[in-house]
Copies of this chain bind each other. A is one copy, B any other.
Amino acid sequence: MPYDPSAFPPFAVTVDLVVLTVRRHALCALAVRRGEPPFQGRWALPGGFVRADEDLSQAAARELAEETGLCAHDPSAPVQDNGAHLEQLATYGDPKRDPRMRVVSVAHLALAPDLPAPRAGGDASNARWAPVEELLQQSGYGRDGEPVAPLAFDHAQILADGVERARSKIEYSSLATAFCPSEFTVGELRRVYEAVWGVALDPRNFHRKVTGTPGFLVPTGGTTTRQGGRPAQLFRAGGATLLNPPMLRPEV
């Protein structure tokens, strides 16, 4: 391995972000509209170049803060304040994934509670939360009647991988609490699972499971009635990060 720079090909390295949240009972991802070619006008995942003196996780946290204002958690720490969970997802380096040059993108996955409104450098029209189902469909029309175009680059694949990671990870970890505000009810947590998995769960069995798993939830003592119906106990995320035995995702 000589120092001669001609001995290896130069790459551009970027981070792309799959930022997920749950809004109106649907799993949504943050998308930004591209302002320049290639794929001008198309939706894409937020991201940018890694700077010369930055670690990959630093770059991802910086991009996340620039796009959403969220500050990232250390992935090993339990989710407790309203910062987002951030972890590395996978790296995409097909030689043709960017027509301009050789770009290797280190994708990261962020999970955030429902946020007021996206801001892409202050320009709200160029960023939005979209249901992942809508972003992943190849073509057709969205729920607002607008025509839908596929995501730019290989971002549909990255988004699909991120969604799959989130779906499987909430099975055996307490990560679903990252979608909730700092205090939440069992019902709100259940609706997170239902939105991410796209299934209906039995409220009684879910309640038994999450309250019976030591360290998963700690009661705050308060109650709320913001969902209507009988007041529900408020909880915050406990210290446990791994669920053992896991939460079982229903078949099919």
Q: Which residues of A contact B (CB under 8 A)?
A: 1, 3, 5, 7-13, 36, 49-56, 88, 90-95, 100-102, 104, 106
Contacts and interface: CB of A to CB of B under 8 A. Distances in A.
Given A53-B95, A54-B95, A91-B88, A11 B13 contact: yes
Given A10-B10, A10-B11, A11-B11, A1 B52 contact: no
A49 B88 contact: no
Contacts of A3: 100-101
A12 to B, nearest CB: 5
Copies of chain A in the complex:
2
A13 B88 contact: no
A102 B11 CA distance: 11
A104 B9 contact: no
Nearest to A12: B8
Given A5-B10, A10-B11, A88-B90, 10 more contacts: A3-B101, A8-B12, A10-B12, A13-B93, A50-B93, A53-B95, A55-B93, A55-B95, A56-B91, A91-B91
A92 to B, nearest CB: 8
Contacts of A92: 56
